[in-house]
């Protein structure tokens, strides 16, 4: 949705500027020898004492509890796998086709293989079967002589397929991180951080994190840990960031380690990905390098290609094969981008014609059209959330009688709960608070739309329907320098639940602006302070709808480093703009 005033088009946003506590910020800054700006950023992230701030800045100083004490079924999971390895029983992994599921699968294939397991895997077809283990895979594993099934990043809601596995006499270990259904499957062991204490540092693990914990504990149990941890840590880092898992608790601790060494990974697949993705400075990988470069190339394959390409990429020890698979990832990602742009354009046209006028009443957007590629509609859903500020449920028809879709939420709306509220209309669903997948009979579509609107009206007020910018505080251009940018590194790695610092500056003048690439705006901005003029460059991604921006504006932004063509400049990435208040 676009805010318009006197024919000026601006992003439709609400700004929430954190309450400033100058005294406490100064205290935290003094203790940690940083700017008070950094002190305020720590306060905004819940670090309100020097002790808590120190543990956040240096997570290695925390004494972690053993995961064997935190996960109730971890001991039995290790014993089941150790027994299967000793007895040469066949173990089969059922993975998932997103980055989390594929890195989890690769991690366990590599580690269990190195520990002597007879190991195989399967990943369900996104297009023909959908998410999660199913009866076909179970029965195929049984025919192939599998004794133990190990799910990764799925299985927690697969009651019937797991029941079928038990009927056939198979042992089953579920490793997953998705929200818990009303009834858990009858498995031999279930590892899911949603089953452990809310205060546990392991609570935020993604699927690849659960796989990492299981593999490390098994290797320690078998006394074969030497040489295994680093490759597993590389895959953990890649999968956790690509899955948008919270960068808190053990995720923060282990990713901080992983990012330091990922650029020199011994895994040919990781090196090949870095090469083909065009990461400009591979010696200092940041979460955004994974989130915007490495991760999408992996995810694209799961969305519109064959996940086996990624599994081979991440399990091969041959650099030649790794480069071939990485190039395939590159080509598939380019195709995925093209498909996304086409579907996004069609979806926006549909919304503007049919739904935009009623968004304040509906408070949710349900967009369905035939011939959309199911593998990429989740990305389009996220972009529609950015544009319209409401939860988005987007789908496409299959065989005319079934709708399959993806959902993305806003902070005040729980997507998983919304689907539970509509479960009697659905064929299948699963996910978590922010994102989910679903399918339903096409005949139920209108009732589904009404049910979601009913749920949305229970939990959303009109003011929630503007995309929310959480801004850390105000700074001026004269404070933006290399020293401040370096100090921001103590907050890294940034991501979910530890967002990139976001600042705002009032009364900024737009000196120059031009459209570049696919609808982005490149700007030169100026601020006058005490008769001194300060200029800085800025970039606004996919803001073509707002071009040209007004001459004087308030801006919200993140700080970025531009290393293009040997430059070493600090620039702004605009995320919000409004007319001066």
- Sheet with 428-431: list strands edge to edge: 365-368, 392-398, 402-408, 435-441, 428-431
Q: What is the pLDDT of residue 282?
A: 56
The C-alpha atoms of residue 474 and residue 468 are separated, in whole angstroms, by 17
Q: What is the pLDDT of residue 283?
A: 65
The C-alpha atoms of residue 262 and residue 163 are separated, in whole angstroms, by 40
* Residues paired with 429 in a beta bridge: 438
Q: What is the pLDDT of residue 18?
A: 96
Per-10-residue mean pLDDT of the chain, 581 residues long, equals: 66 92 94 92 92 88 93 98 98 94 97 97 84 94 98 95 98 94 95 95 96 98 95 96 88 93 93 87 75 90 92 97 97 95 96 93 95 92 91 91 94 94 92 88 96 96 87 96 92 87 97 92 95 95 91 96 75 95 80
The C-alpha atoms of residue 271 and residue 564 are separated, in whole angstroms, by 21
* Residues paired with 121 in a beta bridge: 93
The C-alpha atoms of residue 420 and residue 80 are separated, in whole angstroms, by 34
Secondary structure element (H or E) that encloses residue 522, with its range: strand 520-529
Q: What is the dihedral of CA 131, 249, 294, 91, to 10 degrees?
A: -50
500: DSSP letter: P
Q: Which residues contact 268 (CB under 8 A, 6 or more apart)?
A: 316, 317, 318, 319, 321, 322, 323
The C-alpha atoms of residue 382 and residue 390 are separated, in whole angstroms, by 10
Report long-range pairs for 380-385 (Cβ below 8 Å, ≥24 apart): 380/340, 380/343, 380/344, 380/347, 381/406, 381/407, 381/408, 382/408, 383/344, 384/344, 384/347, 384/348, 384/351, 384/408, 385/409, 385/410, 385/467
Q: Tell me how many degrees the CA angle 103-429-76 measures, rounded to the nearest 5.
A: 50
Concatenate the DSSP letters of all residues of 126-177 into one string.
TTTT-SS--HHHHHHHHHTTEEEEEEES--TT-HHHHHHHHHTT-EEEEE--
The C-alpha atoms of residue 246 and residue 440 are separated, in whole angstroms, by 30
Secondary structure element (H or E) that encloses residue 62, with its range: none
Q: Label residue 399 left, alpha or beta by phi (over 0 means left) and psi (-120 to 50 means alpha).
A: left
Decide: 542 and 511 in contact? Cβ < 8 Å: no
Decide: 40 and 473 in contact? Cβ < 8 Å: yes
496: DSSP letter: B
Concatenate the DSSP letters of all residues of 167-224 into one string.
HTT-EEEEE--SPPPSS----SEEE-GGGS-TT-TTTT--HHHHHHHHHHHHHHHTT-
């Amino acid at each position: 949705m676009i805010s318009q005033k006197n024919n000026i088009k601006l992003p439709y946003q609400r700004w929430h500027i954190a309450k400033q506590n100058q005294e406490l910020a100064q205290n935290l800054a003094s203790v940690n020898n940083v700017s008070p700006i950094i002190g305020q950023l720590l306060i905004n992230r819940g670090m309100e004492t020097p002790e808590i701030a120190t543990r956040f800045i240096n997570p290695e100083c925390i004494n972690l509890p053993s995961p064997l004490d935190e996960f109730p079924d971890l001991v039995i999971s290790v014993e089941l796998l150790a027994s299967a390895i000793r007895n040469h029983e066949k173990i089969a992994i059922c993975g998932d086709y997103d980055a989390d599921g594929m890195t989890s699968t690769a991690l366990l294939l590599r580690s269990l293989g190195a520990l002597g397991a007879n190991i195989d895997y399967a990943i369900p077809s996104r297009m023909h079967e959908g998410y999660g283990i199913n009866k076909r895979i179970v029965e195929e594993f049984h025919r192939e002589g599998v004794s133990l099934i190990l799910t990764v990043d799925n299985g927690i809601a697969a009651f019937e397929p797991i029941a079928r596995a038990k009927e056939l006499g198979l042992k089953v270990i579920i490793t997953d991180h998705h929200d818990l259904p009303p009834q858990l499957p009858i498995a031999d062991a279930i590892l899911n951080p949603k089953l452990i204490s809310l205060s546990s540092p392991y609570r935020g693990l993604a699927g690849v994190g659960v796989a990492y914990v299981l593999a490390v504990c098994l290797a320690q149990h078998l006394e074969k840990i030497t040489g295994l941890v680093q490759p597993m840590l590389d895959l953990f880092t890649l999968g956790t960031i690509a899955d948008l898992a919270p960068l808190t608790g053990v995720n923060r601790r282990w990713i901080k380690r992983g990012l330091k060494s990922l650029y020199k990974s011994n895994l040919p697949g990781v090196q090949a990905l870095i090469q083909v993705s065009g990461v400009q400075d591979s010696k200092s990988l940041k979460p955004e390098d994974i989130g915007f470069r490495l991760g999408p190339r992996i995810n694209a394959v799961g969305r519109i290609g064959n996940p086996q390409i990624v599994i081979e990429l991440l399990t091969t020890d041959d650099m030649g094969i790794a480069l071939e698979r990485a190039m395939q990832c590159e080509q598939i990602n380019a195709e995925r981008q093209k498909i996304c742009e086409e579907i996004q354009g069609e979806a926006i046209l549909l919304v503007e014609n049919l739904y935009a006028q009623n968004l304040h009443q509906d408070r949710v957007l349900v967009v369905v059209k035939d011939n959309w590629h199911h593998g990429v509609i989740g990305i389009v859903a996220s972009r529609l959330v950015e544009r319209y500020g409401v939860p988005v449920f987007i789908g496409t028809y299959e065989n005319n009688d079934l709708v399959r879709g993806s959902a993305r939420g806003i902070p005040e709306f729980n997507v998983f709960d919304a689907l539970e509220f509509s479960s009697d209309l659905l064929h299948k669903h699963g996910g978590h608070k922010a994102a989910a997948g679903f399918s339903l009979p096409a005949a139920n579509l209108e009732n589904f739309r009404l049910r979601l609107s009913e749920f949305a009206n229970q939990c959303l007020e009109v003011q929630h329907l503007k995309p929310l910018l959480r801004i850390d505080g105000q700074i001026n251009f004269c404070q933006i320098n290399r020293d401040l940018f370096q100090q921001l590194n103590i907050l890294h790695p940034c991501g979910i639940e530890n967002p990139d610092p976001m600042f705002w500056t009032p009364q900024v003048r737009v000196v120059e602006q031009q459209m570049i690439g696919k609808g982005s705006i490149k700007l030169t901005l100026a601020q006058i302070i005490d008769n001194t003029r300060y200029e800085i460059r800025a970039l606004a991604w996919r803001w073509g709808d707002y071009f040209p921006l007004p001459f004087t504006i308030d801006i919200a932004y993140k700080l970025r480093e531009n290393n293009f063509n040997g430059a070493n400049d600090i620039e702004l990435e605009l995320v919000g703009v409004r007319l001066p208040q």
